């Protein structure tokens, strides 16, 4: 990736900011575009060039592409809360799908043909098989998952019509924080399980809410495949290198292939923080599948991806290192 100029829309967000650090470490020149609606300027590595703006603003993107001569794009800019998407689906279609349409139009107008896209396991909906394969049906059960699938389909049609080259990476529960402790997960409101759990020992909430315990799983709570954010970041770099080397457009799952229930994650967090974490059972959230566990054999075989931070307790330890030192995220 040395000397390549990579644009990272959404690079001030959680996964995007970790990818920016990985890109800079690889020798790339990094340009971040983010409107800071959900991201944080403090999360952006100072070695990256930063532009504040909305990817739905074509004039903003045209100006950026004119100035920066981009080689490739790693696209993280999207709303990403399942529950919120069910309440505000039109907002999600506008921001996620329309934003991607404007981004792709600007890319193609400026001769930029390579894009790595941050997709989601939510494109599968309620899976028919565990572990999930890339060839399995995509039947989203949330507006969020539906918008991400629409973004993937847009890229596929653009590949055929305009010669766009894309890789779509479908993630399974990003978690953890950069080993330095300098950046980590900070959403407002927070919706991801591990930071919500850690807000209890951090003094920000009295207990953790468990959304349903009547799922067809080993303890009745949802099963998810948790993957360290830096393993995800490194997968994005491998995908970009794959496209630069002439690789064909494709979709890859990213996950550890091992699922943990919500109750098991709470127990692992209790061991890390060495304190009890009270839990309260509440009704299910709409759109939550019972199980999401990935087969990432394709990413390992084709991209050479080798996740190295797979131990749940180690993942939670990096998250706790961030949260205990930044209880209010980037706010203080």
Please list the residue range(s) of the chain that carry CATH number 3.40.50.720: 5-175+227-254
- The pair of structure tokens assigned to 21 is 């650090």
Q: Would you state the pLDDT for residue 181?
A: 92
Q: Are 98 and 139 in contact (CB under 8 A)?
A: no
CA nearest to 224, candidates 182, 183, 266, 161: 266
| Token pair belonging to 132 | 């999930």
Q: Which of 198, 215, 322 is nearest to 266 (CA)?
A: 198
E strands within the chain? 5-9, 29-34, 49-52, 72-75, 114-118, 165-171, 174-175, 208-211, 223-225, 227-228, 250-254, 259-261, 279-282, 291-292
pLDDT, one tens digit per residue, over 104-144 is: 999 999 999 999 999 998 999 888 888 999 999 999 999 99
Rg (CA), the chain: 19
Q: Which of 180, 187, 253, 226 is nearest to 25 (CA)?
A: 180
Instruction: Pull the structure tokens for residue 186.
Output: 């900070």
CATH 3.40.50.150 fits 193-223+257-331, yes or no: no
CB-based burial, 57-81: b 16+ in 10 Å, e otherwise: beebbeebbeebebbbbbbbbbbbb
**Widest pairwise Cα distance in the chain:** 56
Residues that are catalytic: 144
Query: Which ranges of the chain have pLDDT less than 50?
Result: none
Q: Nearest 5°: CA angle at 226, between 101 and 14?
A: 45
pLDDT, tens only, 146-180:
999 999 999 999 999 999 999 999 988 899 999 99
CATH 3.90.25.10 positions along the chain are 193-223+257-331
Tokens encoding 8: 């990272």
Structure tokens at 222: 């949802």
Question: How many other CB atoms sit within 10 Å of the CB of residue 143?
Answer: 23
How many other C-beta atoms can be found within 10 angstroms of the C-beta atom of residue 41?
Answer: 12
Global confidence as pTM: 0.94
Q: What is the structure's pLDDT at 190? A: 81
State how far the Cα of 295 lies from the Cα of 185, in Å rounded to an integer.
25
Assigned fold of 5-175+227-254? Rossmann fold (3.40.50)
- Length of the chain (residues): 332
Ramachandran angles phi, psi of 166, nearest 5°: -140, 150
The per-residue pLDDT for 332 is 55
User: Which residues, other chains included, contact 120 with Cβ-Cβ below 8 Å and sequence gap of 6+?
Assistant: 80, 144, 145, 148, 170, 171
């Amino acid at each position: 990736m040395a000397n390549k100029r990579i644009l990272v829309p959404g690079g001030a967000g959680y996964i995007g900011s970790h990818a920016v650090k990985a890109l800079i470490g690889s020798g790339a020149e990094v340009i971040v575009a983010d409107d800071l609606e959900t991201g944080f300027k403090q999360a952006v590595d100072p070695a990256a060039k930063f532009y504040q703006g909305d990817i739905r603003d074509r004039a903003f993107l045209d100006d950026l592409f004119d100035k920066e001569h981009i080689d490739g794009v790693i696209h993280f800019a999207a709303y990403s809360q399942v529950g919120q998407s069910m309440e505000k689906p039109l907002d999600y279609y506008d921001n996620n799908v329309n934003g991607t349409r404007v981004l792709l139009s600007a890319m193609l107008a400026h001769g930029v043909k390579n894009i790595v896209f941050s997709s989601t396991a939510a494109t599968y909906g309620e899976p028919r098989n565990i572990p999930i394969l890339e060839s399995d049906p995509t039947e989203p059960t949330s507006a969020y998952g539906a918008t991400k699938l629409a973004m993937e389909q847009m890229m596929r049609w653009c590949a055929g019509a305009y010669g766009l080259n894309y890789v779509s990476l479908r993630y399974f529960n990003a978690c953890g924080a950069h080993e330095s402790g300098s950046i980590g997960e900070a959403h407002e409101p927070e919706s991801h399980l591990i930071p919500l759990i850690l807000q209890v020992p951090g003094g920000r909430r009295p207990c953790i809410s468990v959304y349903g315990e009547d799922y067809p799983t080993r303890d009745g709570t949802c099963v998810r495949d948790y993957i360290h954010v830096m393993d995800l970041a490194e997968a994005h770099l491998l995908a970009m290198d794959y496209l630069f080397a002439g690789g064909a457009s494709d979709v890859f799952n990213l996950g550890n292939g091992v699922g943990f229930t919500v109750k098991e994650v709470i127990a692992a967090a209790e061991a890390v923080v060495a304190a009890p974490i009270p839990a309260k059972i509440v009704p299910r959230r709409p759109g939550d599948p019972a199980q999401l566990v990935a087969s990432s054999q394709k990413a390992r075989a084709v991209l050479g991806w080798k996740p190295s931070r797979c131990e749940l307790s180690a993942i939670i330890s990096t998250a706790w290192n961030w949260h205990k030192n930044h209880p209010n995220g980037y706010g203080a």
